[in-house]
Amino acid sequence: MFPYLWLELRRLVRDSSYVLVSVLLPVGMFLLFSSLGDEATNHDLVQLMVGMAGFGAVGITLNSGTGIADDRARGWLRQLRLLPLGPAKVVVARGLCAMALSLPPIAIVCVAGAFKGVDLSVAQWVSVAALLWLGIAPVALLGLGIGYLCAPQQAQAIGLALFVGMSMVGGLWIEVSDFPGWLQVVSKITPVYSYAEIPRSVGWDEVPHAFDIAALAAWTIALMALALFAYRRTGRRA
């Protein structure tokens, strides 16, 4: 699996077109929103920093589905099936590649947070960044499932709709407490809500809620099953 993972990572490095949206946009939004109004508290800055880092990470990992759909259209998946790799290894490797794409927006938004005065201990900084990266796994798997199931244009449209919708409803842009009651319920069962709340809790020096941890784990398992089903389905259609 590791040679295949290295191959996919090298292919990703050659394509830097994702940088503008996935890095510059969330950093710009963080710097803009953190400068508006009265002086923000550390609590507010942590909430905004995690939200914008997650915004960039969600966008780029979902967009990886478009690349997979392109690979399928060009016949790359048919060539891949000639290698001695089982479906689980292929899905895990591609999922890790998609997660690797999330590192630049997470790292750069966190650097911007430090520049704007976010006050965290070394352990909190490391934990927040690590949780932002590890927690993106279900979104990466969702992107894979979309790529394996859809044509390139469909994958791009669905990925964009989910990116905007989950970012808004999941509380990356707006505090969930400002939503109507019914929308708060919907928000709290999305993977993006739990994804953001866990590192936010660590940044606020609080213990993450067991519900958020369980929900994120459940979404990871469910979307792993979706990605495996979608990959196997491409083999039956080949």
Residues 188-217 have pLDDT tens digits of 999 999 999 999 999 999 999 999 999 999
Encoding tokens for residue 198? Answer: 């866990």
- Compute the mean pLDDT over every residue in the chain, rounded to the nearest whole number: 86
Quick check: 45 and 118 in contact, CB under 8 A?
yes
Q: Classify residue 177 by its DSSP letter.
A: G
Q: What is the Cα–Cα distance from 213 to 28, expressed in whole angstroms?
A: 30
pLDDT above 90 covers a percentage of the chain that reads: 55
The torsion region of residue 83 among left (phi > 0), alpha (psi -120 to 50) and beta comes to: beta
pLDDT at 174: 85
| Mean local confidence (pLDDT), 170-181 | 88
Which of 71-85, 128-142, 146-160 shows the highest mean pLDDT? 128-142
The string of pLDDT tens digits covering residues 184-195 is 999 999 999 999
State which amino acid sits at residue 168. Answer: M
Q: What is the Cα–Cα distance from 180 to 186, expressed in whole angstroms?
A: 10
* Sign of torsion over alpha carbons 199, 200, 204, 209: negative
| Mean local confidence (pLDDT), 150-177 | 90
The string of pLDDT tens digits covering residues 23-57 is 888 999 999 988 886 778 999 999 999 999 999 99
Give the list of residues 6+ apart from residue 125 with CB closer than 8 angstroms, or none. 110, 114
pLDDT at 139: 96
pLDDT above 70 covers a percentage of the chain that reads: 84
Q: From the CB of residue 235, how many other CB atoms can be counted at a distance below 10 Å?
A: 13
How confident is residue 64, by pLDDT bands cut at 50, 70 and 90? confident
